[in-house]
Amino acid sequence: MPFLDSLFAPFRKKRELLIQSYAKTLDSYFPYYKRLQPEGRKVFIERILHFRKSKSFHFLEMEKSADIEVLVSAAAVQLTFGLPEYNYGFFEDIYIIKGAYTYGASTTPWAGHVNHQGIHVAWDHVLKGYVLETDGYNVGLHEMAHAFEYELVFGDYAFDHILKSRFYAVSIAIRDHVIDQPWHLAELYSPQGLSNNHECWAESVELFFEKPAKLKEYYPGLFSTIAELLQQDPLQGKMEEATASYLS
Ligand SMILES: [Zn+2]
């Protein structure tokens, strides 16, 4: 239908330009994206488009930036890339703060936090997390892991019983293999990560993506429950397979 084609052409053009600019940003700053095959990259960008559109981004003490919105969205998409549902529907607002900040009664600077009001991240810490992919430090993934837990209770995942039982298996592994073994030889976790299940889950996600071989070597049970939950295995490139199943 030529008439409809010409009617939608400007929208298609705009979308195409957006996709190109996302690809450029991700190619420069996001190693996870760079490792994907072309089909996986396409899906990754589609998901960022939807995710970004569904959220309101608020920039505090800094200028608004499309690139930063894309890169923060990319952490959310990375974490849930093996799953069909990826929109974190419970959250509408994402707050991006220039640097570490203090919150509430705490005098210790924070790199990020998640509560009912939204997802908060300090941009300089997020960026630091992306620069070195193998240091086990990634604030973007860390905060999205906290958001993931909210989704399991209040969001779309609350109705997904398979996902919830898989997360329960992760929680048991965290308690038995990490929290109850604080003097473990591996020393992969920070004192904060060992302080409770929620922080330990968030640090486990960072390690799962950034130090997968180490996590698997020292905590094989935990590694396999996370891989089962997220339907990804950073050591085996299963991301491609997982994604392919949603394309068909
Ligand atoms: Zn945390």
How confident is the prediction along the chain (248 residues), in pLDDT tens digits per residue? 666 677 778 778 888 899 999 999 999 999 999 999 999 999 999 999 999 999 999 999 899 999 999 999 999 999 999 999 999 999 999 999 998 888 777 777 788 899 999 999 999 888 887 777 778 789 999 999 999 999 999 998 999 999 999 999 999 999 999 999 878 777 899 999 999 999 999 999 999 999 999 999 999 999 999 999 999 999 986 454 444 444 43
Which pLDDT value is given to residue 125? 86
Residues ≥6 apart with Cβ < 8 Å to 156: 85, 87, 89, 90
Which pLDDT value is given to residue 237? 61
The closest alpha carbon to 152, from 246, 80, 77, belongs to 80
- What's the burial of 239, exposed, middle or buried (CB within 10 Å: 0-12/13-18/19+)? buried
The CA distance from 141 to 129, in Å, is: 9
Distance 145 CA to ligand 1 centre (A): 8
Which pLDDT value is given to residue 104? 76
Which pLDDT value is given to residue 238? 45
Distance 243 CA to ligand 1 centre (A): 28
Which pLDDT value is given to residue 1? 63
Distance 197 CA to ligand 1 centre (A): 10
Q: CB–CB of 238/82 below 8 Å?
A: yes
Amino acid identity of residue 236, one-letter, is Q
Between CA 133 and CA 50, with CA 45 as vertex, the angle to 5 degrees is 120
Ligand 1 ion: residues within 5 Å (CB): 199, 202
Which pLDDT value is given to residue 182? 79
Residues ≥6 apart with Cβ < 8 Å to 104: none
Which pLDDT value is given to residue 105? 76
Distance 103 CA to ligand 1 centre (A): 13
HSE toward the beta carbon, residue 137, CA cutoff 13 A: 12
Neighbours of 171 (CB within 10 A): 17
